[in-house]
Amino acid sequence: METYDILLLGLAFLLIEVIIPGFGIFGFIGLLALLWSLFFLLGADLLAGLVCLLVAICVIGGFLYVVSHFHKGWIGKYLTLHWQSTSDKGYISAPLPKDLVGKTGVARSILRPAGIVDIDGQPVNVVTEGDFYEAGTKVIVIRVDGTGIVVRRYDTDRGIK
Number of domains comprising the chain = 2
Q: Is residue 29 domain-shared with residue 73, that is, in the same domain?
A: yes
DSSP code for 48: H
Residue 84 belongs to a domain: no
> Looking at residue 158, what is its pLDDT?
63
CB-count burial class (<10 Å; 0-12, 13-18, 19+) for 55: middle
State pLDDT tens for residues 97-121.
Answer: 778 889 999 999 999 989 999 999 9
Residue 128 belongs to a domain: yes
Q: Is residue 74 domain-shared with residue 8, that is, in the same domain?
A: yes
Residue 97 phi, psi (nearest 5):
-85, 70
For the ranges 61-65, 72-76, 117-121, 149-153, the lowest mean pLDDT is seen at: 72-76
CA 106, CA 122: separation in Å to the nearest integer? 10
> Which of the listed residues 21, 52, 79 is the one where a domain comes to its end?
79
CA neighbor of 37 nearest in space, from 7, 10, 60: 7
Task: Check pLDDT > 80 for residue 85.
Answer: no
Task: Check pLDDT > 80 for residue 53.
Answer: yes
State pLDDT tens for residues 133-153.
Answer: 999 999 999 988 876 899 999
> Looking at residue 138, what is its pLDDT?
93
Residue 52 belongs to domain spanning: 3-79
> Looking at residue 111, what is its pLDDT?
93
> Which of the listed residues 79, 106, 136 is the one where a domain comes to its end?
79
**Alpha helices, H only, the chain:** 3-19, 25-41, 46-69, 74-79
Provide the whole-model pTM.
Answer: 0.43
Q: Is residue 59 domain-shared with residue 121, that is, in the same domain?
A: no
CA 6, CA 52: separation in Å to the nearest integer? 15
